[in-house]
């Protein structure tokens, strides 16, 4: 398996951008529906977004995470976040999780598009033999 590294993935009106300085945009996205109040997923409260990004980037630096911000291209807005996590290069495996979208984009093409982009990249570019989807959320 090739070592996962930050890359932009794009298709069907969605761009996955390497997570970086998206703090204000992620706060706006999470505020669309007060997503931090949901029990089945882990979405940061507005005051926790900086730490959320910092922890994701620390996981990237350690080699076990690769986080993205999700941008809807027509509006240009960041509408959520997703990532590979529990990356095990020795087993050629990544997991997809920590995924959330602004309420106004839930039950749309966004999740299907993001999963297609992530799985295609994992299998075709990274050479994974297994991609696992986290169930419900990634609260641990």
Domain residue extents for the chain: 9-133
- Mean pLDDT of the region 19-23: 96
For residue range 31-89, what is the model confidence (pLDDT) as tens digits?
Answer: 999 999 988 888 999 999 999 999 999 999 999 999 999 999 999 999 999 999 999 99
Mean pLDDT score of the chain: 94
27 closest CA partner among 86, 89, 96, 102:
102
> In whole angstroms, what is the distance from residue 95 CA to residue 138 CA?
11
Q: Which of 83 and 136 is assigned the larger pLDDT?
A: 83
Residue 15 three-state SS: strand
CATH number for 9-133 (one of 3.30.750.24, 2.40.30.10, 1.10.1740.10, 3.40.630.30): it is: 3.40.630.30
């Amino acid at each position: 398996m090739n070592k996962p590294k930050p890359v932009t993935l794009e298709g069907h009106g969605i761009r996955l951008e390497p997570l970086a300085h998206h703090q204000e945009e992620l706060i706006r996205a999470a505020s669309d529906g007060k997503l931090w109040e949901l029990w089945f997923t882990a979405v940061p409260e507005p005051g926790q977004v900086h730490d959320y990004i910092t922890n994701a980037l620390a996981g990237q630096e350690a080699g076990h995470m690769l986080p993205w911000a999700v941008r809807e291209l027509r509006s240009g807005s960041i509408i959520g976040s997703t990532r590979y996590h529990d990356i095990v290069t020795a087993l050629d495996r990544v997991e997809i999780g920590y995924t959330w979208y602004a309420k106004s984009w839930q039950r749309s093409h966004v999740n299907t598009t993001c999963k297609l982009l992530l799985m295609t990249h994992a299998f075709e570019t990274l050479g994974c033999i297994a991609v696992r989807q986290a169930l419900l959320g990634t609260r641990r």
